[in-house]
Amino acid sequence: MSFKNLGLRAELVAAVTAKGYTKPTPIQAQAIPPILAGRDLLGGSQTGTGKTAAFTLPMLQILAEQQGDTSRGKHVRKAPRALVLTPTRELAAQVGESVETYGAGLNLKSTIVFGGVGINPQINKLRAGVDIVIATPGRLLDHASQRTVDLSRIEFLILDEADRMLDMGFIHDIRKILKLLPARRQNLLFSATYSNEIKQLSDGILHDPELIEVARRNTAAEKVTQVVHPVAKADKRSMLSHLIRTGNWSQVLVFTRTKHGANRLTKQLDSDGITASAIHGNKSQNARTQALADFKTGRVRVLVATDVASRGLDISLLPHVVNFELPNVPEDYVHRIGRTGRAGEEGAAHSLVSLDERGLLRDIEKVLGRSIPVQDIEGFKTNAADGNEDARVRPTRSGGGGRGQSSGRGSSSRSSGGRSESGSSRPAGSTAPANRRSSPFRRRSRTRRATSSTSS
């Protein structure tokens, strides 16, 4: 099947062809026809499967075909007709870039609206008139309160990464925004994971929707090789530097739980001679944009991020993702490692796990429906018989690593029934699996879950 077979107009087909795409992904092939037919849609898809184009392309076509409305008058400010809501600035920027790229041959205008930057340039663009607004909820409500945006003529509403918006506490903002929209409109809701909360939200927004789920719920991309490295908390930084150097990793996205932790790790990596930048919610938008640009162009080797970056970062051919700390919310693991293995490419996800994170690891495996292989790193070993953090994992001069083994799944208060399998291919620079047998790393069945909050 080609994009032309989906019913897209020539300008859009030419735009995707210029980007090097000749065959639609499963989510695109299944979502575009019903959207073009005017149906509401609830789409579930793994990250990195082409979801943005799945709603951007038909949205642009519908707006272009309805552009003949001149009732507003030549000199009347044009109100937006389409609204895309995203949870993060990075995702808003990604969607905005796709709209500009795919809509280059159409007479449509768009603008991106988010916080962290000055509001006046956004006001000027909105007053000049746009067809499409891509926004984060908080800044959009700022504009609505100042009456610098008119949402009364929205014909097309898209909630992208709806599950992340709920996780970040945007449900009240979303409800306020819905009250500003006309009752009659086409609605699309996309989510990488599908929970009862998402079902409840979709029931209140969508009307007789087309249901599309191209991947099992809460599953990781199948071409991402996943591995756990047991390590003492105090030795995580040295293990990370060791992996980067010995594997000759040139581009690594590393996740921490907190902003302070991201800043500290960035400085430590720089002191190790490994160029790194941090990206998180306390950084200005200009700083975040620059850090991402430096990472994409290779000026820095490592990008250290909080979960604000687990959605919306579109980095072509990213080979390695490292969980320096496991996330408190197990579903966030899926989104983190979804930054690699995108668009059918291969990738590797490494998790540096200390003994106090075993409960978090069990919760993640429960969501995945499978165990993650455990692999020791030469020069680091685990002495799980000693519960003292300072003594249980220390580097060794002899190079004799302890042995780890993936085991069964423990109980979890958060679970999902999906199952997935990691791909068998392993990118260059990944190390081979260690011998597997029962792991002392998971012997203790009762551990307190980490309580530090995820920071964006």
SS3 category, 200: helix
SS3 category, 226: strand
Question: For the chain, what is the mean pLDDT?
Answer: 80
Map out the domains of the chain as residue ranges. 4-213, 224-442
Q: Per-residue confidence at 249, pLDDT binned at 50, 70, 90?
A: very high
Give 260 or 411, the one with higher predicted confidence: 260
State mean pLDDT over 40-57: 85
Q: For the chain, how many helices (H) and strands (E)?
A: 15, 15
Say if 4-213 and 224-442 have the same CATH topology.
yes
State mean pLDDT over 76-100: 88
Q: What pLDDT was estimated at residue 314? A: 66
Give 109 or 316, the one with higher predicted confidence: 109
Q: What pLDDT was estimated at residue 335? A: 80
| 60 close to 156: Cβ distance less than 8 angstroms | no
Paired residues of 352 in beta bridges: 229
- The percent of residues in the chain predicted with pLDDT above 90, rounded, is 50
User: What is d(CA 351, CA 339) in angstroms, rounded to the nearest whole number?
Assistant: 14
Q: Per-residue confidence at 382, pLDDT binned at 50, 70, 90?
A: low
Q: With the C-alpha atoms ordered 433, 435, 437, 438, is the resulting torsion angle positive or negative?
A: negative
Report the topology of domain 224-442.
Rossmann fold (3.40.50)
In our burial notation (b when 16+ CB lie closer than 10 A, e otherwise), range 219-250 reads: bbbebbbbbbbbbbbebbbbbbbbbbeebebe
Q: Which of 11-20, 217-226, 277-286, 411-420 has the highest mean pLDDT?
A: 11-20
Nearest C-alpha neighbor of 321 from the set 352, 283, 292: 352
Q: What pLDDT was estimated at residue 221? A: 60
DSSP letter at 374 equals B
Of the ranges 115-124, 356-365, 439-448, which one carries the lowest mean pLDDT score? 439-448
| 288 close to 309: Cβ distance less than 8 angstroms | no
Res. 16: pLDDT tops 80 = yes
State mean pLDDT over 112-120: 91
pTM score, whole prediction: 0.61
Domain 4-213 has CATH 3.20.20.70: no
